[in-house]
Structure 1
Amino acid sequence: MVIRYGSTRAVYLQLADLLRADITSGRIPPGELLPYEGRLEQEHGVSRPTVRRALAVLRGEGLVYTERGYGTRVVQQQTRQHIKVPRAARIVCRMPTEAEREALGIELGEVVPVVTIHVGAQTRGPYRADMFDFTTA
């Protein structure tokens, strides 16, 4: 896949797509450093702000993390647990409260939504959205 500059899809999203494909296919394994920003610029013929926006997309998806002075690494993906949800349930996805962050081990600055499941007057959760898959029963 190559970046198409005439495409209706933004260039930074195309670059994020390329990097995501390399990560999910295992070409860039967990714990591995991504190429540095300058190299990504040269390889793909894009600007530094474009590279940074693409990396921000991947950070937002929880695929990579960046350490200042060290670079951007692929996150070790955790095994996701499956939760069956009754069909009549209401599922709410939101950002966690401070107490939920602490209880669920979500670091300050991490973008990890939480999910609650409401069935009648009963509430289940919150669950970290990055660790669970939800399916109907």
Structure 2
Amino acid sequence: MIDFGAERAVYQQLADLVRASIESGEIAPGGLLPSSKTLEQTYGVSRETVRRALAVLRAEGLVITEPSYGTRVREASERRRVSVPRGASIVSGPASHAQRQALGVPVGEHVLVVTMGGRVIGEYPASTTELTCR
């Protein structure tokens, strides 16, 4: 349950609980998460807390939110595995307008920028990319 007196932010605790449900298989790949309203009522949290928790899970690539449908667990096959060289630096941040257009990602999506020696060697949508080291 949520510990409202804990140092860890409430939205992070909620993200942890939902993530645990996904990782345990309680919510299977392709399965719908409970609605935002249900999460609010179940855990006694605000709408903004639920929104922030779901944003964390989207940024991690665990869930996809589809308008008029809901939030579902991402299928494992929906991620692309990319191998990056040892010593590369990886930075995650919100996609710029140019990155959104080039990568075809929506507003609010994060991108992974891979650099080596100060030179960009790749940019990838964070929610659909799994980086591995060569």
Q: Distance in 2 between matches of 1:26 and 1:133?
A: 23
Q: Distance in 2 between matches of 1:65 and 1:23?
A: 13
More helix by share: 2
Which deviations, in whole Å up to 9, do the C-alpha atoms of 1:22-59 show, x marking residues without a partner?
11222111211111122212221222232222222222
- Counterpart of 1:118 in structure 2 is 116
After TM superposition, the score normalised by the length of structure 1 is: 0.71
Asked if 1:72 is matched to 2:71, the reply is: yes
Q: Unpaired runs of 5+ in structure 1? A: none
Q: Distance in 1 between matches of 2:51 and 2:120?
A: 39
Asked if 1:27 is matched to 2:10, the reply is: no
Contact preservation (8 Å) 1:82, 1:134: yes
Q: Distance in 1 between matches of 2:69 and 2:111?
A: 27
Structure 1 stretches of 4+ with a deviation exceeding 4 A read 94-104, 127-130
Distance 1:50 1:123, change over 3 A: closer
| Bigger Rg, structure 1 or 2 | 1
Q: Distance in 1 between matches of 2:58 and 2:38?
A: 19
After TM superposition, the score normalised by the length of structure 2 is: 0.72
Asked if 1:48 is matched to 2:47, the reply is: yes
Q: Distance in 2 between matches of 1:92 and 1:4?
A: 33
**SS of residue paired to 1:72:** strand
Q: Distance in 2 between matches of 1:9 and 1:96?
A: 27
- Name the Cα RMSD after superposition: 2.9
Contact preservation (8 Å) 1:115, 1:128: no
Distance 1:85 1:28, change over 3 A: same
Q: Distance in 2 between matches of 1:75 and 1:131?
A: 12
- Counterpart of 2:81 in structure 1 is 81
